[in-house]
Structure 1
Amino acid sequence: MTVVAWIVEGTWTACVDAARTHVPEDTDIVLLHVTGSDVAGAAHGAYAGLLGRAHPRRDPGTAVEHLAAAAGEHLLGAAAKRLGRPCTRVERHGRVEREVVAAAEGADLLIVARDGDRSRLGPRSLGPASRFVVDHAPCPVLLIWPEDTPGTDTIPPPPHRPHHR
């Protein structure tokens, strides 16, 4: 059995704790972090657009890529330490939501934390990337609340629909 826990800044501890709580000891656990290409790409584009053919060594996008990779490695290290048992650490780069779905192929379970509006129950508790992952995951998904789950009194009211005669 293989379980993938998606490690994201801000919610990673909840995913690791869910793996510790819900996954049997003999399970292969993969801690997955994805560094998105969008921020570094924006820095590359801004530099090229503003400065044209300036020297590539001064391109801030390269520095952003290195910082993001170091932050991802640090996060995976902290997650592995918190997990406290053997695991595999995987760092991927690209479109975050698509990389997570691709990494979950062949897994028996994917652990995802809600990352949207966590003050109430409802679909807005998922951000765009996690919504994509939940909708497209090629395996079962354990969707968790990173904090205490809001009460059922936070469910949005049903939509108002006019009566037809």
Structure 2
Amino acid sequence: MRVIAWLVEGTWPACVDAVRAHVPRDAEVVLLHVSERGVPGLAHGAFAGLLGRGHPERDPGTRLEDLGTTSADALMEAAARRLDGPCARLERGGRVEREVVAAAAGADLLVLARDGNRDRLGPHSLGPAGRFVVDHAPCPVLLVWPEPAPDLTTLPPPPGRG
């Protein structure tokens, strides 16, 4: 059994805990983190266009790339420690939602946390990236709440009653 756990800052502990609770210990677990490549590129472009090309050591895009790599490494390390079992680590870069779907090809399960409004039950608890992944995942999906789920009183009213 091959399981992918999509790790995102702020919600990754819930994904790791779900793997520990619902996945056999002998499963092949892959911790996945995806970095959006567009942000450092925008900073590189702004620096080159506005400030010139004479001082590459001042390029904020390079600094953002370094910070992103350091942050991703720390997140993956913390997740591996929390999992407390064998796992592989996979770092990808690009359009996050598409990279997650591509990484899930051939997996038996994809674990992800809700990434939208978590104050109430309903479809808005999934943000655009999470919704895309849930709609397009090529394998079964385990969708978890990063904190206790909201009370049932937060359900939207039935159609025609609200």
**What's the TM-score once normalised by structure 2's chain length?**
0.93
Counterpart residue number, 1:72: 72
1:49 aligns with 2:49: yes
1:128 aligns with 2:125: no
Counterpart residue number, 1:95: 95
Percent identical pairs in the alignment equals: 68
Alignment partners' CA distance in 2, 1:63 and 1:125: 33
Query: What amino acid is aligned across from residue 73 of structure 2 in structure 1?
Result: E
Equivalent position SS for 1:16: helix
Query: What amino acid is aligned across from residue 4 of structure 1 in structure 2?
Result: I
RMSD of aligned C-alpha atoms?
A: 1.5
- Aligned pairs for 1:14-163 within 5 A: 14-160=14-160
Q: Structure 1 residues 107-116 or 44-53, which shifts more?
A: 44-53
Query: What amino acid is aligned across from residue 118 of structure 2 in structure 1?
Result: R
Alignment partners' CA distance in 1, 2:94 and 2:26: 31
Structure 2 portions without partners, runs of 5+ = none
Query: What amino acid is aligned across from residue 117 of structure 1 in structure 2?
Result: N
Query: What amino acid is aligned across from residue 94 of structure 1 in structure 2?
Result: G
C-alpha offsets along residues 2-46 of structure 1, whole Å, 9 cap, x if unaligned? Answer: 000001100000000000000001100000011111221221122
Equivalent position SS for 1:19: helix
Query: What amino acid is aligned across from residue 94 of structure 2 in structure 1?
Result: G
Alignment partners' CA distance in 2, 1:157 and 1:45: 48
Distance 1:29 1:59, change over 3 A: same
Equivalent position SS for 1:26: coil
Question: Number of paired residues?
Answer: 161
Alignment partners' CA distance in 2, 1:129 and 1:49: 31
